[in-house]
Amino acid sequence: MTRLTQIPGLPPLVAAAGLLAAWELAARVFDISGLPPAHAALRELPVILTDKESLLNILDSIRRMVVGFAFALVFAIPVGLMMGRSRLTAAFFNPLLMIIYPVPKAALMPIIMLWLGVGDASKTLVIFLGVSLPVIYHAYQGARAVEEKMLWSAAAMGMDARARLTRIVFPAALPEIMVGVRTGLVLALITMVTSEMIARKQGVGDILFNALAMAQYETVYATIVIIGLLGFVIDVGFERLRAHLVAWAEPAHEIAAVGST
Amino acid sequence: MTFTRRASEIAIGILPIALVIALWHAIAASGIAPAVLLPPPGAVFARLIEQAGSRQFLDNAAVTLYRLFAGFSIAVVVGVTLGVAATGSKAVEGIVKPLVRVLAPLPKVALYPAMILMLGFDDASKIALVVADAVFPILLATYQGTSAVDNKLVWSARAAGCTPRRALFTVVLMAALPSVLTGCRIGLIISCIVVFLAEMITSTDGLGYLLVRAGRNFETVDMFVPLISISILGLTLNAAFNALRKWLLRGFAEES
Amino acid sequence: MISIERLSKAFDTARGTSHLALSDISLDVAGGEFVSILGPSGCGKSTLLYIVGGFVPPSSGAVRVQGAAVTGPGPDRGPVFQEFALFPWKTVLGNVMYGLLEQGAPKKIAEDRARALIEMVHLKGYENFYPKELSGGMKQRVAIARTLAYGPSILLMDEPFGALDAHTRTGMQHELLEIWERDRKTVLFVTHSVEEAVFLSDRVVVLTRSPGRIKEISRIDLPRPRRRAELLVDRRYQDYVVAIEKLMDDPAEVRA
Ligand SMILES: Nc1ncnc2c1ncn2[C@@H]1O[C@H](COP(=O)(O)OP(=O)(O)O)[C@@H](O)[C@H]1O
Ligand SMILES: [Mg+2]
């Protein structure tokens, strides 16, 4: 038994199978009208994934997510690093970030839609905002924790401030940045789904609520499974990447990874 | 840190906030953006103060707070119990860990339609969503905190006659309190955010609903008010929680 | 009082192999005896103590205390750890009262007894301090008082003064002897300092390098009460220290 649980990937697979089994059982035993059995929902999976329009919708969602996420990284990592290395920059940005932090980014959708319309721009912007904050925060913490002595020796070797930031601070802060990036990835997916649920024009979130409105419950659940799979694949993929990039560091603490929506 | 340094840092921090508001005011005043798109900040804050005294607004805020705290409390109880149990029992750990691995990366908001189907459009489905979102950081923080507790603390208690199960809650959980509270604070802010979003997606009351309703009627000023309210709510809850945390952890060594 | 019978302990390693920490240890400790266990780092001294405490099960062999086999921790055996292992969320008074309350003593009686113990370990006035506000020596005094509170007949001390500076350390050694002379508890005392072992003990058990086996048991025939300043110039004391130092230095041992 202990040996079995040590095979990587097996326990989550068993857990997923267990969840599906529990779902199937609950649907049959309790016969809730809003809970179709698992097999019925799973049967919808290939239907959705081969339907051209649905597929395009899902791919559109993913594209917006990737674009918003990429822009956020490019913006947030340098800002966080600079905040970590300069008290002045930190003092400048911190209160502003503190105020923005508890605002649900997807909740800005209606206002941003007023300005930018319901198209890609609004949704991408919202994802950008959602991802930026945790990445800034963790890059800031990472840069702040860089040992002063490392920088002194670098300065003594004749590195200028900019080189120190890119060649010393950035790699040293990378493990912590990765924690932020992981949180950001989770948030990108959440913000994507939520903003589409609020804007209701296209995308995965829209498919969900359309199906709900038309009482196609199997489609609702199948879409949830698709989003869940997407989340899991992203998470596992990122963990692989992280392990590869910062193999020398301690594993990321998972609390931070799930933290802050 | 000296007082003057602190004061100057606060001044620097207020600067960008002031700049944002000034820029906002300038754009609104210049007429580049019509007031339906961007109301002047003065109008927004005046409306906020006016609303703060309005019965209807306060009722909606109360609904939001009720859902937030109901969901958060359930998440704390479930998350802490499961986290401690996973540390205390290999069997529970064997079940909880893989389940968390599968469920934690799932965007919980995607479950919202299913919750609506099973629990209806009222409070229950929103509270369920808050629980689903807030429970994981609390559970993980509790599990990690409790499994890192030094055995010798437990042994000291066990030698004094404490039973293993009792030690789990009176010693292991207490020793892990810093970590548990960190998880709870993350969970609290998440609850705050999620309840608002749920109300925006489908609702007939609450702060999130006020935002959506205002949007539907193109009352831009009224769209900003719930947003600012939720920010203030989040900051207040965070500050209150930090004060509580500081008091609870008064015996523990400092940690950021 | 304590009888250790053919005790061995193997740990499973991360690589799936098994690592022998203790091998075939047999030792009898009489009631009221002060026995030190001496050996190089990693030879299994702590493990031996933990097994006697009932915190860790042996792989083979058994420990009996007054004839009864040890199956778990019990208030007859009080541990004192190098890391103090105080409860950070409790004050000095709370820590010392802990065991009494666990034993079901009424609060008033527990508090009176705890205050008396705190005075005995020279910490009067610090009752309401948290452990983090105390120095290392003070923390260890609290830990000793916490253990003495529930009246164990056996003290299991794992390098209790190992984390203290040399001056505090000798002070604590004298205090421990004073307490011991007064109520003659049975003490099993782990240390890697030869001088400390000779100064304190009736017998010194020297373990071999890992896996720990008993290499030699020396009886220390020095008159009590002992004063360090007097012993330092005592030829017999010096002879004991030198003889045991030599044992520990055995070139045949310095292999791995
Ligand atoms: N929980 C454990 N798991 C695996 N190995 C352990 C464990 N505890 C101790 N060991 C091993 O057992 C040996 C003895 O350890 P210990 O009793 O702590 O030695 P000492 O106290 O004499 O320094 C060491 O090699 C150590 O690595
Ligand atoms: Mg040891």
Mean pLDDT of B65-80: 97
Domains in chain A, CATH or no CATH each: 35-245 (1.10.3720.10)
Its ipTM equals 0.93
Look at residue C191 and tell me whether its pLDDT is greater than 70. Answer: yes
A32-36, A191-195, B4-8, B12-16: the lowest-pLDDT one = B4-8
Distance between B223 CA and the closest CA of chain A, angstroms: 7
Look at residue C255 and tell me whether its pLDDT is greater than 80. Answer: no
First CA to last CA distance, chain A: 36
Nearest Cα residue to atom 14 of ligand 1: C44
Instruction: Determine the residue of chain B that is closest to A218 in CA distance.
Output: B114
**pTM of the predicted structure, to 2 decimals:** 0.88
Q: Which of C142, C143, C147, C141 is nearest to C102 (CA)?
A: C147
Which residues lie across from C156 on neighbouring strands? C79, C188
Tell me what pLDDT residue B121 has: 87
Look at residue B2 and tell me whether its pLDDT is greater than 70. Answer: no
Alpha-carbon distances of A131 from A62, A188, C198, rounded to whole Å: 14, 6, 64
Each residue's pLDDT tens digit in chain A (261 positions)?
A: 445 556 667 888 888 899 999 999 988 888 877 888 999 899 988 988 888 888 888 888 899 999 999 999 999 999 999 999 888 888 888 888 888 888 888 888 888 888 888 788 998 999 999 999 999 999 999 998 888 887 888 888 888 888 888 888 888 888 889 888 988 888 888 888 888 888 877 788 888 888 888 888 899 999 999 998 888 888 888 888 888 887 766 554 444 333 333
Neighbours of chain C (3+ CB pairs under 8 A): B
A51-55, B80-84, C233-237: the lowest-pLDDT one = A51-55
Atom from ligand 1 closest to the CA of residue C48 = 17
Residue pLDDT, tens place only, C193-230: 999 999 999 999 999 988 899 999 999 999 988 998 89
Tell me what pLDDT residue A251 has: 52
Chain C interface, best mutation among B150, B151, B152, by max C CB count within 10 A:
B152
Distance between C177 CA and the closest CA of chain B, angstroms: 22
Query: Count of alpha carbons within 13 Å of A179, Cβ hemisphere only?
Result: 22
C46: Cβ below 6 Å to ligand 1? yes
- Is the Cβ pair B117, A217 closer than 8 Å? yes
Atom from ligand 1 closest to the CA of residue C210 = 25
Q: Which of B152, B161, B175 lies at the smallest CB-CB distance from C102? A: B161
Q: Is the CB of C129 inside 8 Å of chain B's CB atoms?
A: no
Nearest Cα residue to atom 21 of ligand 1: C46
- Is the Cβ pair B157, C130 closer than 8 Å? no
Show residues of chain A in contact with B193, CB under 8 Å. Answer: 102-104, 261
Provide the strand spans (E) within B21-171: none
Atom from ligand 1 closest to the CA of residue C47 = 17
Instruction: Determine the residue of chain B that is closest to A238 in CA distance.
Output: B105
| Helix or strand (DSSP H, E) at C22 | strand C18-29
* Measured distance CA(A155)–CA(A159) in Å, rounded: 5
C208: Cβ below 6 Å to ligand 1? no
Instruction: Determine the residue of chain B that is closest to C46 in CA distance.
Output: B152
- The residues near A124 (Cβ < 8 Å, ≥ 6 apart) are A64, A67, A68, A71
Which single residue is written with the structure tokens 């930090």? Answer: B242
Atom from ligand 1 closest to the CA of residue C19 = 5
Distance between B170 CA and the closest CA of chain A, angstroms: 23
Nearest Cα residue to atom 18 of ligand 1: C46
Higher pLDDT, C170 or A152: C170
In chain B, which among 172-231 make CB contacts under 8 A with chain C?
174-175, 177
Question: What sign does the CA torsion over C93, C94, C95, C99 have?
Answer: positive
C185: Cβ below 6 Å to ligand 1? no
Look at residue B101 and tell me whether its pLDDT is greater than 90. Answer: no
C36: Cβ below 6 Å to ligand 1? no
Nearest Cα residue to atom 5 of ligand 1: C11
C207: Cβ below 6 Å to ligand 1? no
Residue pLDDT, tens place only, C1-14: 899 999 999 998 87
Interior/surface letters B234-243, b for 16+ CB within 10 angstroms, e for the rest:
bbebbeeeee
Give chain A's mean pLDDT: 84
3-class SS of residue C152: coil
Higher pLDDT, B4 or A191: A191
Q: Is the CB of B255 inside 8 Å of chain C's CB atoms?
A: no
A234 alpha carbon – ligand 2 mean position (Å): 44
Distance between B253 CA and the closest CA of chain A, angstroms: 19
C42: Cβ below 6 Å to ligand 1? yes
Chain A interface, best mutation among B109, B210, B220, by max A CB count within 10 A:
B109
- Is the Cβ pair B190, A259 closer than 8 Å? yes
Tell me what pLDDT residue A8 has: 67
Mean pLDDT of C122-138: 94
Q: Which of B153, B251, B252 lies at the smallest CB-CB distance from C85? A: B153
- Is the Cβ pair B253, C132 closer than 8 Å? yes
B187 alpha carbon – ligand 1 mean position (Å): 38
Give backbone dihedrals phi and psi of C60, rounded to 5 degrees, phi first. Answer: -155, 165
- Is the Cβ pair B105, A16 closer than 8 Å? no
Atom from ligand 1 closest to the CA of residue C9 = 12
Question: C256: pLDDT confidence band, cut at 50, 70 and 90?
Answer: very low
Query: Judging by DSSP bridges, how do beta strands C18-29 and C2-12 pair with one another?
Result: antiparallel
C186: Cβ below 6 Å to ligand 1? no
Q: In what order do the strands lie in the sheet with C186-191?
A: C77-81, C154-158, C186-191, C34-38, C203-207, C214-219
* Measured distance CA(C252)–CA(C254) in Å, rounded: 6
In this structure, what DSSP letter does residue B103 have? H
Atom from ligand 1 closest to the CA of residue C207 = 22
In chain A, which among 25-44 make CB contacts under 8 A with chain B?
32-35
Look at residue B256 and tell me whether its pLDDT is greater than 80. Answer: no
Tell me what pLDDT residue B254 has: 72
Tell me what pLDDT residue C34 has: 96
Nearest Cα residue to atom 20 of ligand 1: C42
Query: Count of alpha carbons within 13 Å of C188, Cβ hemisphere only?
Result: 29
Which single residue is written with the structure tokens 């523990």? Answer: B252
Residue pLDDT, tens place only, C45-73: 999 999 999 999 999 999 999 999 999 99
Tell me what pLDDT residue A249 has: 65
In this structure, what DSSP letter does residue A216 have? -
Q: Which of C125, C144, C5 is nearest to C64 (CA)?
A: C5
- Is the Cβ pair A224, B37 closer than 8 Å? no
* Measured distance CA(A154)–CA(C175) in Å, rounded: 52
- Is the Cβ pair C75, B161 closer than 8 Å? yes
C41: Cβ below 6 Å to ligand 1? yes
Tell me what pLDDT residue C25 has: 94
Nearest Cα residue to atom 3 of ligand 1: C11
* Measured distance CA(A93)–CA(A90) in Å, rounded: 5
Structure tokens at A165: 């930031």
Tell me what pLDDT residue A153 has: 83
Mean pLDDT of C22-51: 94
Rg (CA), chain B: 22
Q: Which of A205, A198, C99, A8 is nearest to B202 (CA)?
A: A198
Look at residue B4 and tell me whether its pLDDT is greater than 70. Answer: no
